[in-house]
């Protein structure tokens, strides 16, 4: 009972020292008198002498803070002793260490007083007294620093920080942290406030220290031990806040914070802690991580901690990143997985840190490639493939990164994919993943690299794979199955297969590797006409070389022959080696095939026995089997077999040839080949065909031809000279390439197309450093804008985020014209009632356009006032449109707040109207909190009749539907996000006005009218006291403080 009474006495003293909790006065008129009275009452309660009447306000505040610290120490001791006593007593009926909500509020107030009136002012004077070593720290005016009190103030600050550190470390450095309500409040709410003075005095360099202000060496081990016992996410968040508040005149503070942050990252849970600290909001809301946060995490992980070797950092961090990416989806939030993959790709491809990039690439690629190339390593094949999949789907579609990641293992991946294709029972998801890897690599990497890698597959690289019953994948030594296969290649077996109808002329009876049919089908699936043509030519040359060698391996020669025949079959022309060099002939064939879809195969059959090019007789290996060959040819050339191919297949072949010709001849257009006009017209019905493949090919061809026709008016001589001189691609060529990539079904390839368009429309830097308009034909700008507006509707966040960046880049490149279009799209329907029937799709589009506007506003910077007339009035109209969905009105307020944050001068002409509107909105849309139902309601319900009980039960059912804030199309203005956005805008506006008044001294332009100030303070005070939303109440209280600071600024000037 003695301990309990002591605890009650301490809490009573704390209540006396902090004042009554019912007082809502933010800043009393006579603060000095209030503090003097409270100190007198408190010391009278403890039988101590009262403070003198002439004590200064600063002394009273410091005395109050020191007494608060003493109470915190006694409270912590009492709580820990009481908890130990209660845990030791098995018969205790009530835990005396439990304290109420009001007591926790007292503890928070005591801690805040210690920092506000002791640690912070002392730290400011100490920082001012330490000699500045920063060359960038400019002194704007003469300062007079009183150095006489610095020794005492330094010792006082050291005492305060040491006593605060001793609270969680009361049991010593070697023991666990001491737990109580006091330490929980200190570490959870004020850790960053505690770290800053500890770093300033504990890491003070010897060169800056003096006898009166020595380095506090005892603080460093305490701080490092404390941080080592706390979760990494909590420490990283606190260090980040400390880093943002570091004094610019003391560079060693930032250096120390960076050192501590680096040490936290190399902890086993450091990377997870960083992600938890950065993506706390996304983990709760489930939203996608923003690009800024992804880049922030990448910058942090790309920075090697000071004092640590790059090799050691790579060996520590890279394996942990790979293992985190390989864990199951439920074990790692999506935002964390994407951030780690994004950071890893930046480390592997960025040239900013060559040593880090080289060592990280060697380590990461070795860990990923060894299981696939050699069947060894710390990772299994399945884990390695999973990491590759995560990296591919969560990083920028960079051809360099994809080349580095895939090219060394493509032969092995293809043989594994081929094994799955030939197996009767295989994992379909893994098979499709392998197919996606290979196709993405084949479509984004350069043609020379693709061709060389495909040739390695033909040469037999890639190994042999085996999958057991449990699905475990392993690489084994190559086993020769040809002897067993040759037993099937007999006249009897052929006759039996033919009689049973099971003879397949394309079957791989001899076990050729790679399987010719499957390999050619894979090459065709890449959609790279340039690669197919060059590979076909190389195969012909290789086959001729093998035929000229007497000791050549027969199966290798047969493999080359089969590949040539299969590629001839796919191209449907025996003179395919010259098809791209003579576009006029193939264009005539394409026109004929499109005009008569049912006849092109007969023409192809007729052209095969022509003398031009390689004939079937020249490719024949066995010369003494004319009968068997005739039978084979009769099957091959059977008209019924030809008719089995649909019209779409022949037409698709024609369109693919057209795309290959256009890609191989950049100067080919309707001006040089008028037949393209007829082909363009013939493609129109096929763009609406029922076949998805034919439809997409026809649309792609029409889009490429449209871009080519649109650029015929430009000077073609300059482009021809660029191509001949081997210079970089022209904007027109890049535009055509982007249009092709956008038609690809693979997400990374489409995203790469959007990235190319974004680069085309981005502003260029002239030699003088100024920005100029992009070097792109303005006639193409509407089309590109339409593409971005279509891509912004994509359901995949990876696509629409790239489109959002493209829209903001277009504003940078083409200025106000594009900006007006975006603003019109965002605010269209303000004057009418059509917006009241918006669908969720419409709301999503406008919200994403708003995201692009937000990026534009941030990029404008000091130039924002020149765009204010375009941005602010329409956004203000959206805010005032009551028939608009509340989500859009909230988004508009956020954009206005971003404008204030970027440059407050942009909204200066509208400051009165905007502030008044926000106050009106808060006043009208406030939702007071509902009184809690107590036991009285239960008693009242018992007196009701059965019918009343039924009504009460029915009234309890409505809370089941989801809250309205999760409904994007709702127009309910009572949801909290609208009020939060308005309060956020008011807070930023008031801060900006206060800062401008201090900077310029112009109170007439930046001070709100008195009636608005008065209404705002009344309304915000009411919200802070009665609103049903906790966040709204807190934000309203902070905004009231901002109003007081604005008034102080005006009165002070």
C-alpha torsion sign, points 999, 1001, 1004, 1007: positive
Q: Of 836 and 541, which is predicted with more confidence?
A: 541
State pLDDT tens for residues 898-945: 988 888 888 888 888 888 988 888 888 888 887 765 554 444 444 444
Q: What DSSP state is assigned to residue 475?
A: E
Beta bridge mates, 465 = 475
Lowest mean pLDDT among 343-347, 597-601, 729-733, 849-853: 597-601
Please provide the DSSP assignment of 575-635 as one string: TGGGTTT-HHHHHHHHHHHHH-TTSHHHHHHHHTTSSSS--TGGG-S--S-HHHHHHHHHH
- Quickly state the pLDDT bin for 833 (edges 50, 70, 90): low
With CA atoms as reference, report the closest residue to 850 among 817, 893, 895: 895
CB 185 within 8 A of CB 108: yes
pLDDT at position 194 is 92
Q: How many CA atoms lie within 13 A of 268 on its CB side?
A: 1
Total domains in the fold of the chain:
2
Asked if residue 919 belongs to a domain, the reply is: yes
Q: What DSSP state is assigned to residue 465?
A: E
Asked if residue 65 belongs to a domain, the reply is: yes
CB 272 within 8 A of CB 232: yes
pLDDT at position 802 is 83
Indicate if the pLDDT at residue 607 is higher than 60: no
Q: C-alpha angle 748/749/754, rounded to 5°?
A: 95
The mean pLDDT value for 552-568 works out to: 80
pLDDT at position 196 is 92
Q: End of a domain among 172, 191, 222?
A: 222
* Domain enclosing residue 977, as ranges: 871-929+966-1053
- Reported as type and span, the H/E element at residue 772 is strand 771-772
Indicate if the pLDDT at residue 112 is higher than 90: yes
Asked if residue 1048 belongs to a domain, the reply is: yes
My answer on whether omega of the bond before 707 falls inside 30° of 0, hence cis, is no
Q: Of 684 and 876, which is predicted with more confidence?
A: 876
- The helix/strand/coil state of 792 is coil
Beta bridge mates, 467 = 473
The mean pLDDT value for 569-593 works out to: 57
Indicate if the pLDDT at residue 642 is higher than 80: no
Asked if residue 176 belongs to a domain, the reply is: yes
Q: How many CA atoms lie within 13 A of 542 on its CB side?
A: 19
d(CA 563, CA 538): 11
State pLDDT tens for residues 944-960: 444 444 444 444 445 54
- Reported as type and span, the H/E element at residue 464 is strand 464-467
d(CA 330, CA 333): 7
Q: End of a domain among 201, 222, 243?
A: 222
Longest dimension (CA), the chain: 125
Token representation of residue 895:
């954009």
d(CA 818, CA 761): 11
With CA atoms as reference, report the closest residue to 752 among 766, 739, 761: 739
d(CA 346, CA 323): 17
pLDDT at position 109 is 92
State pLDDT tens for residues 763-807: 766 666 566 677 777 777 887 887 777 677 666 677 778 888 888
Asked if residue 183 belongs to a domain, the reply is: yes
Token representation of residue 258:
């960076």
State pLDDT tens for residues 960-988: 455 555 676 788 888 888 889 989 989 99
- Quickly state the pLDDT bin for 140 (edges 50, 70, 90): very low
Q: What percent of the chain has pLDDT over 90?
A: 6
pLDDT at position 453 is 92
Query: Residue 552, by phi and psi: left (phi above 0), alpha (psi -120 to 50) or beta?
Result: beta
The mean pLDDT value for 810-821 works out to: 84
The mean pLDDT value for 499-511 works out to: 62
Q: End of a domain among 222, 250, 267?
A: 222
Write down how long the chain is.
1053
CB 447 within 8 A of CB 548: no
Q: Of 604 and 733, which is predicted with more confidence?
A: 733
pLDDT at position 614 is 40
CB 553 within 8 A of CB 459: no
With CA atoms as reference, report the closest residue to 761 among 738, 790, 728, 792: 738
Lowest mean pLDDT among 48-57, 250-259, 400-409, 724-733: 724-733
Computed over every residue of the chain, the mean pLDDT equals 76
Asked if residue 624 belongs to a domain, the reply is: no
Going by C-beta distance under 8 Å and a sequence separation of 6 or more, which residues neighbour residue 919?
A: 986, 1012, 1015, 1016, 1019
Q: C-alpha angle 597/601/603, rounded to 5°?
A: 100
With CA atoms as reference, report the closest residue to 291 among 738, 803, 746, 742: 803
Asked if residue 152 belongs to a domain, the reply is: yes
Asked if residue 500 belongs to a domain, the reply is: no
With CA atoms as reference, report the closest residue to 413 among 367, 362, 471, 371: 371
Query: Residue 180, by phi and psi: left (phi above 0), alpha (psi -120 to 50) or beta?
Result: beta
Indicate if the pLDDT at residue 380 is higher than 80: yes
CATH of the domain at 993: 1.25.10
Token representation of residue 157:
């600050």
State pLDDT tens for residues 8-28: 888 888 888 887 654 444 455
Q: How many CA atoms lie within 13 A of 131 on its CB side?
A: 7
Beta bridge mates, 82 = none
d(CA 1011, CA 1043): 13
CB atoms < 10 A from the CB of 671, how many?
A: 13
Cα-trace Rg, the chain: 37
Between the ranges 84-93, 232-241, 828-837, where is the mean pLDDT highest? 232-241
d(CA 219, CA 158): 9
Indicate if the pLDDT at residue 818 is higher than 90: no
Q: C-alpha angle 879/880/885, rounded to 5°?
A: 60
- Quickly state the pLDDT bin for 640 (edges 50, 70, 90): very low
State pLDDT tens for residues 659-675: 877 777 777 777 788 88
- The helix/strand/coil state of 780 is helix
The mean pLDDT value for 165-189 works out to: 86
- Quickly state the pLDDT bin for 514 (edges 50, 70, 90): confident
d(CA 608, CA 599): 15
Q: Of 100 and 377, which is predicted with more confidence?
A: 100
CB atoms < 10 A from the CB of 311, how many?
A: 13
Lowest mean pLDDT among 376-380, 470-474, 628-632: 628-632
Going by C-beta distance under 8 Å and a sequence separation of 6 or more, which residues neighbour residue 627?
A: none
d(CA 577, CA 660): 13
Indicate if the pLDDT at residue 320 is higher than 50: yes
d(CA 871, CA 804): 17
> Can you list the pairs that 383-390 forms with residues at least 24 positions away whose Cβ atoms lie under 8 Å?
383/326, 385/430, 385/433, 385/434, 386/325, 386/326, 387/322, 387/325, 387/326, 388/437, 389/433, 389/437, 390/325, 390/326, 390/337, 390/341
Token representation of residue 797:
């966040």
Token representation of residue 338:
């994407």
- Quickly state the pLDDT bin for 832 (edges 50, 70, 90): low
């Amino acid at each position: 009972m003695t301990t309990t009474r002591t605890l009650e006495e301490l809490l009573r003293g704390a209540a006396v020292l902090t004042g009554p909790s019912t007082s809502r006065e933010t800043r009393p008129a006579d603060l000095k008198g209030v503090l003097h009275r409270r100190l007198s009452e408190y010391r009278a309660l403890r039988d101590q002498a009262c403070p003198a009447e002439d004590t200064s306000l600063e002394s009273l505040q410091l005395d109050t803070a020191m007494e608060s610290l003493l109470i915190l120490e006694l409270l912590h001791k009492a709580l820990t002793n009481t908890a130990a006593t209660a845990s030791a007593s098995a018969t205790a009926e009530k835990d005396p260490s439990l304290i109420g909500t009001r007591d926790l509020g007292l503890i928070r107030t005591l801690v805040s007083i210690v920092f506000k009136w002791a640690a912070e002012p002392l730290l400011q004077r100490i920082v001012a007294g330490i000699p500045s070593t920063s060359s960038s720290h400019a002194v704007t005016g003469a300062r007079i620093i009183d150095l006489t009190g610095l020794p005492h103030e330094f010792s006082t600050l050291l005492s305060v920080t040491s006593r605060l550190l001793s609270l969680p470390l009361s049991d010593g450095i070697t023991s666990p942290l001491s737990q109580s309500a006091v330490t929980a409040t200190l570490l959870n709410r004020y850790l960053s406030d505690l770290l800053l003075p500890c770093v300033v005095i504990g890491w003070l360099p010897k060169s800056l220290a003096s006898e009166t202000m020595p380095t506090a060496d005892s603080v460093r081990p305490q701080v490092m031990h404390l941080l080592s016992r706390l979760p990494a996410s909590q420490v990283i968040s606190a260090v980040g806040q400390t880093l943002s508040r570091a004094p610019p005149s003391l560079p060693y503070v930032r250096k120390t914070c960076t050192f501590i942050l680096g040490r936290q990252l190399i902890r086993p849970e450091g990377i997870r802690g960083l992600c938890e600290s950065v993506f706390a909001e996304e983990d709760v809301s489930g939203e996608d991580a923003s690009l800024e946060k992804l880049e922030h995490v990448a910058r942090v992980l790309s920075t090697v901690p000071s004092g640590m070797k790059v090799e050691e950092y790579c060996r520590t961090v890279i394996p942990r990143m790979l293992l985190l990416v390989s864990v199951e989806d439920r074990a790692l939030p999506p935002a964390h997985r994407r951030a780690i993959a994004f950071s890893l790709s930046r480390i592997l491809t960025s040239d900013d840190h060559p040593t880090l990039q080289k060592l990280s690439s060697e380590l990461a690629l070795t860990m990923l490639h060894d299981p696939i190339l050699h069947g060894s390593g710390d990772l299994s094949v399945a884990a390695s493939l999973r990491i590759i999949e995560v990296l591919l789907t969560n990083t920028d579609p960079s051809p360099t990164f994809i080349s580095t990641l895939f090219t060394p293992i493509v032969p092995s991946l293809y043989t594994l994919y081929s094994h799955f294709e030939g197996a009767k029972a295989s994992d379909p998801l893994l098979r499709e993943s392998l197919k996606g890897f290979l196709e993405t690599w084949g479509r984004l990497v350069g043609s020379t690299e693709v061709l060389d890698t495909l040739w390695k597959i033909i040469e037999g690289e890639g190994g042999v794979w085996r999958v057991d019953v449990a699905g475990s994948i392993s690489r084994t030594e190559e086993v020769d199955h040809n002897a067993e296969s040759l037993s099937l290649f007999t006249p009897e077996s052929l006759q039996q297969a033919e009689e049973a109808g099971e003879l397949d002329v394309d079957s791989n009876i001899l076990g050729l590797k790679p399987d010719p049919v499957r390999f050619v089908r894979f090459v065709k699936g890449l959609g790279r006409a340039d690669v197919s043509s060059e590979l076909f030519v190389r195969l012909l040359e290789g086959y001729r070389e093998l035929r000229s060698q007497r000791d050549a391996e027969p199966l290798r020669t047969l493999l080359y022959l089969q590949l040539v025949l299969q590629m001839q079959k796919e191209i449907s022309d025996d003179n395919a080696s010259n098809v791209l060099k003579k576009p006029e002939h193939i264009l005539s064939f394409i026109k004929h095939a499109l005009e008569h879809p049912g006849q092109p195969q007969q023409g192809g059959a007729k052209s095969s026995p022509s003398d031009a090019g390689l004939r079937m007789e020249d490719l024949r290996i066995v010369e003494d089997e004319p009968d068997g060959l005739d039978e084979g040819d009769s099957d091959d050339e059977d008209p019924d077999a030809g008719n089995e191919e649909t019209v779409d297949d022949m037409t698709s072949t024609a369109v693919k040839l057209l795309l290959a010709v256009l890609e191989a001849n950049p100067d080919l257009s309707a001006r040089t080949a008028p037949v393209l006009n007829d082909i363009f017209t013939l493609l129109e019905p096929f763009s609406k065909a029922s076949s998805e493949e034919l439809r997409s090919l026809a649309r792609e061809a029409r889009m490429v031809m449209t871009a080519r026709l649109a650029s015929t008016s430009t000077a073609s001589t300059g482009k021809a000279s660029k191509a001949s001189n081997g210079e970089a691609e022209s904007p027109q060529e890049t535009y055509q390439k982007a249009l092709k990539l956008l038609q690809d079904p693979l997400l990374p390839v489409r995203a790469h197309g959007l990235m190319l368009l974004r680069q085309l429309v981005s502003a260029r830097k002239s030699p003088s450093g100024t920005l100029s308009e992009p070097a792109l034909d303005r006639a193409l700008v509407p089309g590109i804008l339409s593409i971005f507006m279509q891509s912004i509707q994509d359901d995949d966040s990876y696509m629409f985020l790239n489109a959002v960046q493209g829209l903001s880049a277009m504003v940078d490149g083409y200025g106000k014209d594009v900006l007006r279009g975006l603003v019109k799209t965002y605010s269209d329907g303000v004057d009418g009632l059509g917006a009241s029937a918006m669908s969720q799709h419409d709301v999503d589009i406008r919200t994403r356009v708003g995201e692009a506007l937000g990026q534009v506003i941030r990029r404008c910077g000091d130039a924002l006032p020149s765009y204010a007339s375009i941005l602010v009035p329409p956004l203000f109209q959206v805010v005032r449109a009551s028939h608009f969905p509340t989500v859009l009105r909230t988004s508009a307020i956020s954009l206005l707040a971003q404008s204030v944050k970027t440059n407050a001068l942009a909204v200066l002409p509208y400051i009165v109207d905007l502030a008044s509107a926000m106050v009106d909105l808060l006043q009208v849309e406030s939702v007071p909190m509902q009184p809690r139902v107590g036991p009285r309601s239960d008693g009242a319900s018992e007196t009701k009749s059965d019918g009343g009980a039924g009504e009460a039960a029915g009234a309890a059912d409505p809370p089941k539907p989801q809250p309205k804030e999760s409904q994007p199309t709702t127009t309910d203005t009572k949801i909290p996000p609208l009020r939060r956005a308005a309060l956020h805008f008011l807070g930023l506006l008031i801060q900006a006005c206060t800062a401008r008044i201090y900077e310029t001294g112009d109170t007439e332009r930046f001070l709100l009218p008195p009636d608005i100030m008065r209404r705002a303070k009344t309304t915000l005070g009411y919200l802070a006291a009665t609103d049903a939303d906790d966040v709204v109440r807190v934000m309203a209280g902070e905004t009231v403080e901002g109003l007081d600071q604005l008034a102080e600024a005006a009165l002070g000037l």
